[in-house]
Structure 1
Amino acid sequence: MRPLLPALFALFLAGAGPVAASPAQPTVTVLYDAFGDAGPLRKDWGFAALVEVDGRRILFDTGNDAGVFAHNVKAAGVDLATIDTVVLSHRHADHMAGLAVVLEANPDVVVHAPQEGFGIYGSSLPSGFYRKDPSLPARQRYFDGQPPETLQFGSAWPGANFKPHAATTEIAPGVWAIITVSDVAGTRELRELSLAVRTDAGLLLVVGCSHPGLPVIVAEAAKIDPDVHLVVGGFHYVNADDAAIAGVLETLAPYEIDFIAPGHCTGEATFAALQKAYGQRYLFAGLGARLVLGEDTTAQGRRRGGDAGFSASEAVAYRALALRGDHVHGHLAHAHP
């Protein structure tokens, strides 16, 4: 394994004080998840995180419930009016339900999202996408046989400043929206957007649900910078069996990821397996965690060493949440991403 660049990962309870406007080091604050330490933030199934780097504040996903998201943002001291950019990883409700709250406070903020035909974020298609038959009378033809060159489709958030992406794009200096496409049964053809940020310590990679497979996303990120320093977010192995979990660990090993901080739909058994595999390089990233890349290898974020971040009651609640919605599908298919 290559030597680690200096880095500090510190864990704080969000809500102990307002989130700094411009932290000196790149920082990830978990604003929405179903597990974590007791504190003022409310747990619920879903994901949202605030990424702060080089004076830029990027909100990654917005959780499952607008009311819970609004509460957590307020409790964490985050001013949504100061958000520079929003990134929505994919179309599932547990990642985007709080967007209306963001737009109320910051209506002109740029929202980066995956481009999908007829998608919920809005899209457009050339009118040539459908076959035409000029033998029909005008009243039987779309647009009387004279369609506009481009058809525009609406979004669930009219007026929002969406920037759809069909390919990996540098959305700001040193910041990329990475697009991957799921080939897993249940989410096949779903496009997912991940966030890669170049830092002095290496690449910071934030993932939402990893439907296309975490190794697929890491491989795309490594094309930008093979020095992957930290991966944080949902890995989508919530119902995976031991063989599938072992498979993803084996596939990730060649990338020599410095630190890993799983959350959301990663799953309890996968938390435990990752903690065993990565040891001191496993970072607790539950609700309220604040991970700071800094000057020292000491990691308060690792202090949850023995329990993978769960109390007994949290484990029961997590299992119950894991069985809700569409997160049950397709996890066994990840054995060989």
Structure 2
Amino acid sequence: MRTDDMEMIIVFDNNTGDDRLLAMWGFSCLVKTAAGNWLFDSGSNGPVLLGNMNRLGLDPATVKWFFLSHPHWDHLGGLGSLLEKNPALELFLPQSASTHLVMDLRRLGATVTVIGERATAIGPGVFSTGVSGEPAEQALVFDTPAGGVMLVGCAHPGVHRLARQASSILGKKLLLACGGFHLFREDEPGIAKVIDELERVPVATVCPCHCSGEQATAMLAARYGKCCLPGGVGSQLVLAQVVQQARDGYR
């Protein structure tokens, strides 16, 4: 997958630097690729998700695939509203999603693939890490010539562990890890250890969002410098630009 064909737009997060957009606890990111658009998670509120997408000029009907990291309310809450606008979505859910949810979605006519523990190819150059940890979670991984791109919802298994899995699947470094790193309850030594592990993978650039926490975001910025990218609703990551930013400090 070419980096100049990829763009990521955060459409739901509890932080925003854009007064047009609503911030609310949760996470969702739209990924534009040449093959079509992915939506990673759906935040906690459907009207807020769709409202933010509308203000950003993003049509939910253009989304071809939906990927759910884990079935917590702050990542699943917008799915119903999304399906009302786009019932033809193809969904990739973790095996931790309830059987009732999967059955209800299939009754509505949705195409649902349930991902288990094994790493799984779900499209050309697109992978799930497989479900791991407790709470069980999967990460979405894109293979690009410049390195892997990994999206995480809350990184309950550990963002460094998911990054290692993603790197192992692709057999290459990670260009970017983006999403909720779930470090908001972690102390300073614990955060430092995770950052050390991310550098060992290695992960070239990071974009901490959602549940990453202010302290962890500040520590990541101190360690990664310009390779720590701003998150929040409305943030746009054009992969070709990320490659350029990372080039001098590529780990």
TM-score scaled to structure 1, two decimals?
0.67
Give the superposition deviation at 1:252.
1.8
SS of 1:258's partner is strand
Q: Is the 8 A contact 1:26 1:199 kept in 2?
A: no
CA deviations 1:66-119 (Å, max 9, x no partner) are 121121111111111111100011010000111111111211211101013844
Give the superposition deviation at 1:25.
2.8
2:113 corresponds to which residue?
Answer: 163
CA distance in 2, matches of 1:197, 1:211: 20
Q: Is the 8 A contact 2:226 2:245 kept in 1?
A: no
2:131 corresponds to which residue?
Answer: 180
Q: Is the 8 A contact 1:180 1:217 kept in 2?
A: no
CA change 1:115–1:180 in 2 (3 A) is closer
CA distance in 2, matches of 1:169, 1:198: 13
CA deviations 1:233-278 (Å, max 9, x no partner) are 0000111111211121122221121111110100000000100111
2:163 corresponds to which residue?
Answer: 218
CA change 1:120–1:199 in 2 (3 A) is farther
Task: Decide which structure has greater helix share.
Answer: 2
Matched to 1:297, the amino acid is Q
1:102 aligns with 2:82: yes
Consecutive unaligned residues of structure 1, counting only runs of 5 or more, are 1-6, 8-23, 123-153, 183-187, 300-337
Aligned pair partner of 2:215 in 237, 261, 269:
269
1:199 aligns with 2:199: no
* Mean CA deviation greater in 222-231 or 91-100: 222-231
1:237 aligns with 2:187: no
Matched residues, percent identical?
Answer: 32
CA change 1:174–1:156 in 2 (3 A) is closer
Q: Which has the larger radius of gyration?
A: 1
TM-score scaled to structure 2, two decimals?
0.89
SS of 1:121's partner is helix
CA distance in 1, matches of 2:162, 2:140: 10
CA deviations 1:21-45 (Å, max 9, x no partner) are xxx5311100001112133110001
Give the superposition deviation at 1:297.
2.4
What pairs up with 1:1-337 in 2 under 5 angstroms?
Answer: 24-116=4-96, 118-119=98-99, 121-122=101-102, 154-155=103-104, 158-159=107-108, 160-166=110-116, 167-182=118-133, 188=134, 190-225=135-170, 226-294=172-240, 297-298=244-245
SS of 1:89's partner is coil
2:249 corresponds to which residue?
Answer: none
CA distance in 1, matches of 2:57, 2:42: 15
